Amino acid sequence: MDSDRRAARDRMTPAVRRLELLRARRTSQGRDTSLAPTMAGLRRHLEKQASQTDPLRQTFDNLVPTELASRCKIRLDKGVLRVGVADSSIRYALDRLLRAGIRDQIIRQSQIPIRDIKLEAKTSRPRRAGGRASTTRSTNDRSS
């Protein structure tokens, strides 16, 4: 079969050979529209994040009281330990502990270098019913 293609190519004139070469290059190749590459990248990212936060989570759990640690989610972002807290009371208590010296202990005892610790509120906002953004009447509405 390969020899048949060579024989056909040898019989072509230079102009026809050039056209065939252009057609082969200019046709769009079939794109891979599957989710496999995206999912593989996401898996690598999550595995890396888990391998980074597991030792941090152990250090965090050892130093912070369990009542607070159980209501926090941690993640590492460019050397900054970001602690997501459930509500403002947990954030206040954790802030007091961090300022009292636990911050330095976490940074010192961590196996992964940490530059800073940031607290983030992770509250969920309830969605409004209906399509309107506000239930109050606009001041520009003069239909009354």
Question: Distance between CA atoms of 72 and 90, rounded to whole angstroms?
Answer: 8
Domain boundaries, the chain: 44-121
Q: Please, are residues 71 and 64 in contact by the beta-carbon 8 Å criterion?
A: no
Question: Three-state SS for 86?
Answer: coil
Q: Please, are residues 81 and 56 in contact by the beta-carbon 8 Å criterion?
A: yes
| Entry pTM | 0.54
Residues 101-115 have pLDDT tens digits of 889 988 888 888 889
Over residues 131-140, mean pLDDT: 52
pLDDT of residue 129: 55
Position 48 confidence tier, pLDDT thresholds 50, 70, 90: confident
The top-level CATH class assigned to 44-121 is alpha beta
Residue 8, pLDDT > 80, answer no
More confident call, 132 vs 66: 66
pLDDT of residue 100: 92
55-to-1, 91, 117 alpha-carbon distances in Å = 60, 22, 15
Over residues 86-113, mean pLDDT: 89
Output DSSP code: residue 128. P
Position 34 confidence tier, pLDDT thresholds 50, 70, 90: confident
Residue 74, pLDDT > 60, answer yes
Over residues 65-69, mean pLDDT: 88
Over residues 40-64, mean pLDDT: 86
Taking alpha carbons only, the member of 125, 119, 104, 113 closest to residue 68 is: 119
Question: Distance between CA atoms of 74 and 77, rounded to whole angstroms?
Answer: 10
